[in-house]
Chain A
Amino acid sequence: MKTEKKLIIANPKLCTGCKSCEIACAVEHSKSKDLYYASLETPSPIQRIRVLLKDSYNMPVRCQHCPDPPCLAVCPTKAIFQTPEGFVLINDSLCAGCGLCVDACPVGAIQMHPELKIAVKCDFCVDRVRAGLLPACVEACPTGALQFGTLDELRSKARASTRTKFEEIISPNTLREMYKTVGWV
């Protein structure tokens, strides 16, 4: 496996579900790239990452930038393409809005833009990454649940991290576990 490929990994144990990544993503993909102005833009900027709740754990879900992307395979207009870094991107001007990619995606990471009627998904903040910056979601994450780097970098970071002992912490996940007997979600 190519170890220089950049990855974003999500650690559900550290995710508090604050959705800061969702807001940062929408702002990054707005015209102004500014929170206050972005909230006034038309069409409203939309996020390409979202935090889902699954089995008591919060999980930020976004495009996995598959090496062999099913969305790319089904795209009839060849709007979906791969960059040299391995990022899977959509060329807006080629997208016909047919929605085949939305159905093809195994993680549900592609959505149809409600106003522009084109497919929209995580672009790995390609411009930021090429400029040496962190992807917007990773930068916004207040607990380090989202991490960016190559597989080797992420591995060594994980090995070095000794600070957090999950068992001792009453996290949102633990809180939800406590409701298992009486709750319904």
Chain B
Amino acid sequence: MSGKKIENWNIVLKVPAVQASLNPAAQELIEKAEKEGVETAWHRYLAQQPQCGFGLLGVCCRNCLLGPCRIDPFGNGPQKGVCGADADTIVARNLLRMIAAGAASHSDHARDIVHVFELVAEGKTKSYSIQDVEKLLTVAKSLGIPTDGRDTLEIARDVAHVLAHEFGKHDEEPLRLIMALAPKRRKEVWQKAGVMPRAIDREVNECMHRTHMGVDADPVNLLLHGARTSLADGWSGSMMATLLSDILFGTPKPIEYVINLGVLKEDYVNIVLHGHNPVLSMKIAEVAMSPEMTELARKYGAKGVNVAGMCCTGNEVLMRLGIPVIGNLLLQELAIITGAVEAMIVDYQCVMPSLATLADCYHTKLITTEPKAKIPGAVYIEFDPANADEIAKKIVTIAIENYPRRNKARVYIPKHKSKAMAGFSVEALLNILGGTLDPLINALKDGTIKGIVAIVGCNNVKVKQDFSHITLTQKLIENDILVVGTGCWAHAAAIHGIFTKEAAEKAGPGLRKVCQALGIPPALHMGSCVDCSRILLVLGALADALGVDIPDLPVAGSAPEPMSEKAVAIGTYFVASGVFVHLGVIPPVLGGKKVTKILTEDIEGILGGKFYVEPDPVKAAETIINVIREKRRKLGWPV
């Protein structure tokens, strides 16, 4: 194995930095980590080798105390668990639990935003306010809430009431947001397939019930409920997280920012915002950049306070304030390894517990803020949206006071940073197009743009960091396919220069022409991972405008480097929404042959979308391009 040297019994783990990441800044810091004897996710991945094959194939069941049970994938050993569940039942149950966890994460994030929105509507907090009244009115109208002549906060209270009920309502009626926002033909498909979601929490809860010992053993029935659960996430949970974040913090507009580890500043107090929810990060960014805090930083010998984003909370803030951003998932540990971070402030999701150990090796304070996400070794300061300003001040002060503890001899900040452009909400896109989707539809129809591909998702140590994201994106734009996306893909694209107007030169002739006319990059940053809901809205609007269903559109989705259960939920709601979805990391399902066939073939007949697994991004690009060609052919559009 490359990078693994065996010295007798003791294995020395060495990560070949150039092979592990495409990002030169990451490569430099992986080497710094090794010099200083600290470990990263790449090192721990080597230490985990080989990873258990039962887990990789999804044929290990730990759902009851009769087990754990494993199915021998080679057919020599046991083929059934103690209860009699076979490989397909076990794989389907495990996948359903992954979807449940992903949907729960997005939707619990949404719940926290609904809570803040309620506080604002009821006048119980001065820290937040309604920034986008127009969007509030649009959402209210789509939910059938009267708006004429009513007070903004009164409307907000009604909206909050309806959205809060999406979580736990116990009737059989479909979710209100889905009825309001999903395209008509999709809703009919979902009704017919019996996958129309009824309540967000209910679907997640039912996943746990169905996968309990002795409940649902039918792989098809299990997977269909997975589709239902994911739809509750995409079209309601994630959707309301996006809608309300826009209303509370402003709907993103095109904005420029700088990204990569080089955004950390030598003489400044560096604060890294990491996690997902904008409620915390927007406030910290606001307070940290205030003159009062700059003054305090000067008192401690720094030139000021530098706030940098990380992962999706970075996306949330950069989309609205254009703050500098470090980048995606696998850069979180490396940020601390620079030795220049005074505080990393986290809420939840994708926050590696290893950060506490690393923070201990340097002077960094890791500050957790959420009652549901504590990390041993971190400083815990509970964030309360009702007193957000005071708590944010307290947190930023801790970071500033930590500045004198920085060991200048151990600081190394890579020089690499890139300029990028973000802020492409649906509203911003419409604005650029002149108020209607028609120019985009015409460009699609006449073949100037061949199709649209949404790329989302994480980093995964199994793939050279950013390699699959970038290779796939480049191949697609070269073939006149407009790329949109969110999450950690967006950080990769920004770091590697794709989010610039100049990148349009690398696009095919049609896409280049469109991008240059509109002054946009060939790939568009639509936000954080909950903002995949923005992509759903674009798909729905395109389908409605053309009078077709989403599966007929020349579009596809891809997660080239997926890692989290949230990515599994997103992939599933895209498939259930009728999209062909590529995965670049093999999900733990191949142990169940029937399940694999359903996900990659049969499901298309029911829901219109299906999964396609291919680790090689070049091959994946070819397949995606062919799928788009085929859909164009069926629409009678020039290929």
Where the two chains meet, the residues of A that have a C-beta atom closer than 8 Å to any C-beta of B are: 14-19, 51-55, 58, 102-103, 105, 108-112, 142-144, 163-164, 166, 169-172, 175, 178-179, 181-185
Contacts and interface: CB of A to CB of B under 8 A. Distances in A.
Nearest to A11: B74
Given A143-B73, A144-B77, 13 more contacts: A14-B76, A18-B55, A18-B70, A52-B49, A142-B70, A143-B74, A170-B57, A179-B462, A181-B615, A182-B615, A182-B616, A184-B19, A185-B45
Contacts of A181: 615-616, 618
B2 A184 contact: yes
A55 B1 CA distance: 6
Interface string B562-597: 000000000000000000000010100010000000
Contacts of B51: 17, 172
Contacts of B78: 142
Nearest to A142: B77
A19 B50 CA distance: 9
Nearest to B52: A18
Nearest to A54: B1
B72 A143 contact: yes
B611 interface: no
A53 B1 CA distance: 7
Contacts of B45: 185
A59 B550 CA distance: 47
B589 to A, nearest CB: 10
B74 A171 contact: yes
Nearest to B590: A170
A166 B54 CA distance: 16
A3 B83 CA distance: 42
Nearest to B46: A185
B84 interface: no
Contacts of B53: 15-18, 58, 171-172
Nearest to B60: A18
A182 B614 CA distance: 11
Contact of B467 (A58, A144, A182, A185): A182
A103 B616 CA distance: 41
Given A182-B584, A183-B462, A185-B3, A172 B56 contact: yes
B586 A178 contact: yes
A103 B74 CA distance: 37
A102 B8 contact: yes
Contacts of B19: 184
13 contacts: A14-B76, A15-B50, A52-B50, A53-B1, A53-B50, A102-B9, A108-B8, A108-B9, A142-B77, A171-B73, A175-B590, A182-B468, A182-B584
Interface in B457-481: 462-464, 467-468
A51 B50 contact: yes
What 4 A-B pairs are tightest by C-beta distance, nearest first? A16-B53, A17-B50, A111-B9, A172-B53
A19 B52 contact: yes
Of listed B51, B72, B463, residue having the most chain A CB within 10 A: B51
Nearest to B56: A172
Interface in B73-87: 73-78
A11 to B, nearest CB: 10
B517 interface: no
A143 B2 contact: no
A21 B216 CA distance: 33
A143 B45 CA distance: 24
Contacts of A111: 8-10
Contacts of B467: 182
B16 interface: yes
B426 interface: no
Given A14-B76, A183-B464, A105 B8 contact: yes
A18 B54 CA distance: 7
B411 interface: no
B65 interface: no
Contact of A143 (B56, B76, B463): B76
Nearest to A61: B6
Contacts of B182: none
B56 A185 contact: no
A121 to B, nearest CB: 9
B607 to A, nearest CB: 25
A171 B16 CA distance: 26
Nearest to B471: A182
A166 B46 CA distance: 26
B627 interface: no
